[in-house]
Chains A and B, each alone.
Chain A
Amino acid sequence: MTVTSRKVQGWLYAAPTAVIVGALFLAPLVLVVWMSLNRWPLLGPAVLNAPENYLDIAGNTLFVDAVFFTLKYTAITTVLLSLVALGLALLVQERRPGVGFFRTAFFLPGAVGFAAAGLLFYGMLNNDFGPIDPMLQALGITDEPVRWIGTPNMALFSTITLVLWRFAGFNMLILLTGLQAIPAEVYEAARSDGANRWQILTRITLPLLRPTLALMLILSVTGSLLAFDQFFVFTNGGPDNSTVSMVMVIYREAFFRFDLGGAAALSVVLLVVLVAINTLMLRRLR
């Protein structure tokens, strides 16, 4: 076989992936960047207006507020999610009777669609017909219905609870695979050297879990920065625009204000930020 034919063959092997990446990732990306440089109506021809769409971002107070809110939400969610997922993973790490039941139970919420989960919480916590308020009152924990999504802090708290419920099991699973990849001999050696449980956790488990933790953190940070479903379905951005995420603003620009060019510009900015944050995190955690 000649070198040329080997080269051709190589290209052919790569072709299916290349086509998929090209059609489903690169082409939309190029289109979004092009849209962000134009005034882009729903129907009819686009008009080049660069860099107006980008300059408008600074004056978009809703978006500026959403950036701060999304960062705050990402920080809280990521910390809590990591702690809960790690706790759950350590709980169900070892093979004991009944542990399979708990692993399944913790993971199960992950099988519920995210929008459906948002609707579920909306129903459960609804002050008119939700079952949670009457239960809390019957148990004597609260005296009157709790305004679960009625104040900015409660709306954020309720949403984060929803996200923890929905994703803790999935992240537990990721960490569990990492935990089980740590050889038992390492633990044995540590124990015979007289290490206690805390020392084993901080000196053995966590350092060896680093690559897995890195994966979980990146997934969590990216997912949180792109938050949409939970706020769109559960809080609708309220009360008083206190839970508006960046993607919700993009959605509003495109589909309520019909400003597709402006929405594209915001998307490009978000993409750049995401790439930057992920690059930083990969460097730090590798």
Chain B
Amino acid sequence: MRRRLAGISLLGVLTLTAAACGSGGDPQPADGPVTITMWTRAATQAQSERLVEAYNSSHENQVKLTVIPTDNYQPRIAAAAGARQLPDVFAADVIFVPNYTSQGLFMDITDRIAALPFKDGLAPSHMKLGTLDGRQYTLPHTLDLSLWFWNKDLYEQAGLDPEQGPKTLREFAEHATTIQEKLGADGKVHGTFFGGNCGGCYVFTFWPSVWAAGGQVMNADGTASLNDQPAMLEVFKIWRELYENEVTGPTAREEQGPTWTGFFPKGEIGVMPMPSTMLGLMPQDMEIGVTPIAGPDGGESTFVGGDSIGISATTQNAEAAWEFLSWTVSDEAQVEVMAKNKDVVARTDLAGNKYAAEDPRVVLMNEMVGKGQTPYALRFGQTFNDPQGPWLRLAREAMFGDVSKVPQLNADVTESLQQ
């Protein structure tokens, strides 16, 4: 009996050892259709899903897409990279790309990009952030621009001209205040909204006003913060007044990001900054005006955000992955998938495509790609997006707290950028 028990124990040990050693996936067959894995973040889920669906229905190779909540995307990529379990291709918020390339997460695709006939038309800001030491690692995947959306029905009800959006940030504030005063009595409609506890929301929606006024938020190297300069402070001041006068939705101060775009489509907000990718997702019967973000006294700019996509450094399916990637920026995918759905195209040479021409708002968005900016910083995510990072403290102090603390907090932002 004892011997038998001992035998069973040994067997258990061996099984465990075998299980521990038997790691690793099953390799793809050398020929025949290949299924590659792809990750994307929820913020640009709709665009990725449409591209993958169109690709899968017209190609032998298949793409299996996994969508990850936006807030958890960076940690998931980091955990997967540490465990050498990155998917074959993954999209990433374009502002995180410099950090990812410096960490060696993407495969060098310089030569493959050079062979593309339309390489010069690829969205310049995305291509710039995907380049490290002269080598290229990513292609533009989706373009997401920040623009002011206004609700024409609410404008009309409030006695504003529904065909005329704001041309300056001050005018934006006036419009929002009018809507709040005329329609906000029962608490269902609000003048405007912003993500007050969301670092990424602030940079996406406030910074374009600084650029429009000719200011800057960082130096060119992304190593010094200029967010204590008058250009930024003036923008904070105008928004702060809107909050203090209760022109913004009541939860703006607590909004952590996941739901900041959710109120406008419900017809509850008069005018607010929104991502261009939301235009195709708006209710069909809603009349929406779109205009570039302006500075306090005019000008126009936008945050050219969105996603870039690259092949992971650890993939075993580089050929199939490139086949998919190069297809996503082809005429077919860009016009028949992206432009058809009112999305901004990833190639400047396709800006005047047949679908864009049908909707002047899309033409405007495509034009803004060349006028807007994508800030570059190696330590962007941990400085500006991380809820525990220094930027969110600065922004919240400037909006809800003690403005005199901003210079010190700005020094913290710079320190974080230089780490």
> Which residue numbers of A lie inside 8 Å of B, CB to CB?
9, 12-13, 15-16, 19-20, 23, 41-44, 62, 126-128, 145, 147, 149-150, 236-241, 244, 248-249, 251-252, 254-258, 260
Contact = CB atoms under 8 A, between A and B. Distances in A.
B96 to A, nearest CB: 10
Contact of A44 (B74, B104, B259): B104
B408 interface: no
Interface residues of B, number: 39
Best-buried of B12, B79, B250, B254 by chain A (most CB within 10 Å): B254
Interface of B: 2, 5-6, 9-10, 12-13, 16-17, 20, 74-75, 78-79, 81-82, 84, 99, 103-105, 197, 250-251, 253-254, 256, 259, 313-314, 381-382, 386-389, 393, 396, 419
B79 A258 contact: no
B201 to A, nearest CB: 13
A53 to B, nearest CB: 14
B399 to A, nearest CB: 11
A257 to B, nearest CB: 5
Nearest to B86: A43
B388 A244 contact: yes
A62 B104 CA distance: 28
Contacts of B5: 13
A126 to B, nearest CB: 8
Contacts of A257: 382, 386, 419
Contact of A12 (B9, B74, B313, B419): B9
Nearest to A129: B259
Contacts of B259: 128
B16 A16 contact: yes
Contacts of B82: 42, 260
Contact of A255 (B79, B253, B254): B79
A128 B105 contact: no
A151 to B, nearest CB: 10
Q: Is the interface of B mostly helix, strand, loop or mixed?
A: helix
A128 B104 CA distance: 42
B197 A238 contact: yes
Given A9-B2, A62-B388, A255-B79, A240 B396 contact: yes
Contacts of A126: 251
Contacts of B254: 127, 147, 149-150, 239
Contact of B388 (A23, A43, A241, A260): A241
Contacts of A236: 197, 256, 387
A19 B74 contact: no
A16 B13 contact: yes
Contact of A248 (B13, B81, B250, B388): B388
Given A145-B250, A237-B388, A257-B419, 14 more contacts: A9-B2, A15-B13, A16-B16, A43-B81, A43-B84, A62-B388, A127-B254, A147-B254, A236-B387, A238-B197, A239-B254, A252-B382, A255-B79, A258-B99
A42 B388 contact: no
A275 to B, nearest CB: 26
B13 A255 contact: no
B79 A12 contact: no
A246 B119 CA distance: 47
In the complex, which of the residues B12, B13, B20, B387 has the most CB atoms of chain A within 10 Å of its own CB atom?
A: B387
Contacts of A256: 74-75, 78, 381-382, 386, 388-389
Contacts of B81: 42-43
A215 to B, nearest CB: 30
A19 B13 contact: yes
B75 A251 contact: yes
Contact of B10 (A15, A150, A240, A241): A15
A19 B17 contact: yes
Q: 3 shortest A-B CB distances, which residue pairs? A: A255-B75, A42-B81, A12-B6
Nearest to B79: A255
Contacts of B17: 19
Nearest to B19: A23
Given A42-B103, A236-B387, A20 B75 contact: no
A149 B78 CA distance: 29
Contact of B250 (A9, A19, A127): A127
A145 B259 CA distance: 18
Contacts of B99: 258
17 contacts: A12-B9, A12-B10, A16-B9, A16-B16, A42-B78, A42-B104, A42-B105, A43-B104, A126-B251, A127-B250, A128-B251, A238-B256, A239-B197, A248-B388, A256-B382, A256-B386, A258-B78
A269 B22 CA distance: 33
Contacts of B253: 150
A252 B71 CA distance: 12
A236 B20 CA distance: 35
B382 A19 contact: no
A237 B13 CA distance: 43
A139 B237 CA distance: 38
A16 B12 contact: yes
B387 A238 contact: yes
A155 to B, nearest CB: 10
Contacts of B78: 42, 254-256, 258
A43 B312 CA distance: 11
A127 B20 CA distance: 48
Which among A12, A41, A126, A150 has the highest number of chain B CB atoms within 10 Å?
A: A12
A10 to B, nearest CB: 9
A13 B103 contact: no
A9 B6 contact: yes
Given A16-B13, A43-B81, A255 B74 contact: yes
A199 to B, nearest CB: 50
A70 to B, nearest CB: 14
A129 to B, nearest CB: 9
Contacts of B250: 127, 145
Contact of B393 (A15, A241, A254): A241
B134 to A, nearest CB: 20
B93 to A, nearest CB: 13
Nearest to A147: B254
A122 B395 CA distance: 23
B22 to A, nearest CB: 13
Contacts of B13: 15-16, 19
